[in-house]
């Protein structure tokens, strides 16, 4: 049964009739107004960097001044059958190479650089997820896979990919480990989601469906399990966990600061506000709460100022359903409910990246109408201390 975190979000958005909400221009403008204090200079105002994206999921500002982004795509005409999210019944879904890797040059030119697989769930598409640069090569986390599929895992699904010389090659896949070991012991499925370069030179991956943290050797493709994230107490029975009142941890990102490793946990349905958190992962795989009282964290990065920053996609809890404009970029502080909203009022943000000056690049409308996705720039959010 497929239970990808962003698909759960899409389900909520569709249920409450908000899939076409928040045009890109409105999202950027609204987030600037909600910031509170007026920008004193024109160059410090937020600006639109990229437009026309289909569910942007990952963004990367490189040292050359380019901004790279990957999106979810719009599915395709080829068919695969997977167990449904709701009841596990066979559900036919269309897939195709419609997810994109996009580069925005320093002069603002937006260029499609490559195509990636996209699967159209009944409630929204899934495609590429995150990007990272390592040793001059670009790496992308792509898609997921689930037990009960009508075919064997397809290339570039549930995989870490290398992009070089205009081509994608598969470095490792997370599905084989999940299928053979199922470390968390619940449903057998993998969503190759969070991706970061560790201080050890390895690629660190959060499997948002398998609920674990992995490393990938970019040279050999060797995959190593670092830790497993167990469930949290929940208010309602979870059919994916035998009816127990438990909520999936759903690790979405990994970041490094001060010699320590941190992971953001989205937590799953029913998206209880304040249950999301950032945990500190120790070398032996144990982990402890670092920052709590947060809501639906989808990304975690270390800024050039040395602080941790997280993306909260928004408030999806309660009878009112998803609330456009409730997302934010947060400066993470240790403790309960101590983190600070540095860019509030965002509409379904999904990811953040910083350049050396501390400018934040944020993907918005990560769930929304096709073509409504954008990348916004917020100058000086994490400017290095002088």
Q: Mean pLDDT of residues grouped by 10 in the chain (386 residues)? A: 51 43 38 43 81 98 97 97 82 96 98 97 91 96 96 97 96 98 94 98 97 98 97 83 86 97 91 92 98 96 98 78 86 95 97 98 94 98 91
Domain hosting 186: range is: 5-51+128-354+361-378
CA-CA distance, 386 to 384, in Å (whole number)? 6
Q: Hunting for tokens 């996209």 — which residue is that?
A: 118
Query: In this predicted structure, what is the pLDDT of residue 144?
Result: 96
Task: Yes or no: say if 277 and 219 are a contact pair by the CB < 8 Å rule.
Answer: no
Helices (H) and strands (E) in the chain, counts: 3, 30
Query: Encoding tokens for residue 5?
Result: 């975190």
Residues in contact with 308: Cβ distance below 8 Å, sequence separation at least 6, in sequence order:
255, 257, 262, 278, 291, 300, 301, 302, 331, 332
| 87 half-sphere exposure, CB direction, 13 A CA radius | 2
In a domain, 94, yes or no: no
Residue 16 CB-density burial (10 A; 0-12 exposed, 13-18 middle, 19+ buried):
middle
State how far Cα 41 lies from the chain centre: 32
Strands 232-233 and 260-265 turn out to be: unpaired
Helix (H) or strand (E) holding 207: strand 203-207
Name the maximum alpha-carbon separation found in the chain: 58
CA-CA distance, 194 to 325, in Å (whole number)? 24
State whether the Cα torsion 169-161-82-186 is positive or negative.
positive
Query: In this predicted structure, what is the pLDDT of residue 380?
Result: 97
Query: Encoding tokens for residue 159?
Result: 């995989």
In a domain, 72, yes or no: no
CATH number for the domain that contains residue 281? 2.120.10
Task: Yes or no: say if 199 and 256 are a contact pair by the CB < 8 Å rule.
Answer: yes
In a domain, 63, yes or no: no
Q: H helices of the chain, where?
A: 5-15, 24-34, 175-181
In a domain, 198, yes or no: yes
Query: In this predicted structure, what is the pLDDT of residue 7?
Result: 53
Residue 333 CB-density burial (10 A; 0-12 exposed, 13-18 middle, 19+ buried):
middle
Q: What are phi and psi of 368, to 5 degrees?
A: 170, -175
Strands 327-332 and 308-312 turn out to be: antiparallel
Helix (H) or strand (E) holding 121: strand 110-121
CA-CA distance, 158 to 132, in Å (whole number)? 16
In a domain, 84, yes or no: no
In a domain, 201, yes or no: yes
Task: Yes or no: say if 360 and 378 are a contact pair by the CB < 8 Å rule.
Answer: yes
In a domain, 305, yes or no: yes
CA-CA distance, 104 to 110, in Å (whole number)? 4
Peptide bond preceding 231: is omega within 30 degrees of 0, i.e. cis?
no
Q: What are phi and psi of 34, to 5 degrees?
A: -75, -10
Q: Count up the domains in the chain and report the number.
A: 1
Helix (H) or strand (E) holding 352: strand 351-354
Query: In this predicted structure, what is the pLDDT of residue 6?
Result: 56
Query: In this predicted structure, what is the pLDDT of residue 243?
Result: 83
Q: How many CB atoms lie within 10 A of CB 149?
A: 19
In a domain, 203, yes or no: yes
Query: Encoding tokens for residue 312?
Result: 């909260």
């Amino acid at each position: 049964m497929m239970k990808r975190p962003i698909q759960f979000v899409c389900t909520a958005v569709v249920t409450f009739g908000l899939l076409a909400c928040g045009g890109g221009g409105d999202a950027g403008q609204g987030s600037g107004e909600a910031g509170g204090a007026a920008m004193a200079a024109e160059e410090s105002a937020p600006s639109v960097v990229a437009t026309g994206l289909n569910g942007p999921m990952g963004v990367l500002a490189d040292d050359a001044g380019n901004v790279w982004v990957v999106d979810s795509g719009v599915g395709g005409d080829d068919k695969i059958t997977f167990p449904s999210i709701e009841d596990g019944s066979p559900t036919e879904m269309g897939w195709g190479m419609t997810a994109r890797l996009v580069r925005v040059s320093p002069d603002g030119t937006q260029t499609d650089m490559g195509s990636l697989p996209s699967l159209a769930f009944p409630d929204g598409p899934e495609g590429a997820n995150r990007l990272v640069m390592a040793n001059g090569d670009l790496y992308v986390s792509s898609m997921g896979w689930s037990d009960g599929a009508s075919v064997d895992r397809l290339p570039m699904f549930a995989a870490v990919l290398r992009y070089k010389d205009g081509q994608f090659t598969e470095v490792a896949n997370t599905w084989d480990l999940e299928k053979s070991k199922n470390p968390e012991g619940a449903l057998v499925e993998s969503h190759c989601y969070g991706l970061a370069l560790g201080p050890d030179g390895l690629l660190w991956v959060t499997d948002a469906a398998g609920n674990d943290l992995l490393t990938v050797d970019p040279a050999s493709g060797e995959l190593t399990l670092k830790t497993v994230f167990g469930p949290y107490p929940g208010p309602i029975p979870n059919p994916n966990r035998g009816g127990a009142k438990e909520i999936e941890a759903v690790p979405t990102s990994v970041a490094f600061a001060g010699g320590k490793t941190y992971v953001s946990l989205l937590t799953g349905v029913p998206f209880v506000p304040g249950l999301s958190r950032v945990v500190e992962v120790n070398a032996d795989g144990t982990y402890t709460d670092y920052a709590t009282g947060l809501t639906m964290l989808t990304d975690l990065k270390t800024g050039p100022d040395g602080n941790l920053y997280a993306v909260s996609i928004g408030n999806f809890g309660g009878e009112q359903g998803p609330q456009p404009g409730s997302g934010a970029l947060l400066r993470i502080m240790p403790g309960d409910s101590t983190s600070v909203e540095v860019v509030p009022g965002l509409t379904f943000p999904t990811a953040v990246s910083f350049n050396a000056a501390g400018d934040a690049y944020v993907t918005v409308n990560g769930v929304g109408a096709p073509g409504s996705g954008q990348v916004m720039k917020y100058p000086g959010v994490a400017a290095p201390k002088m």
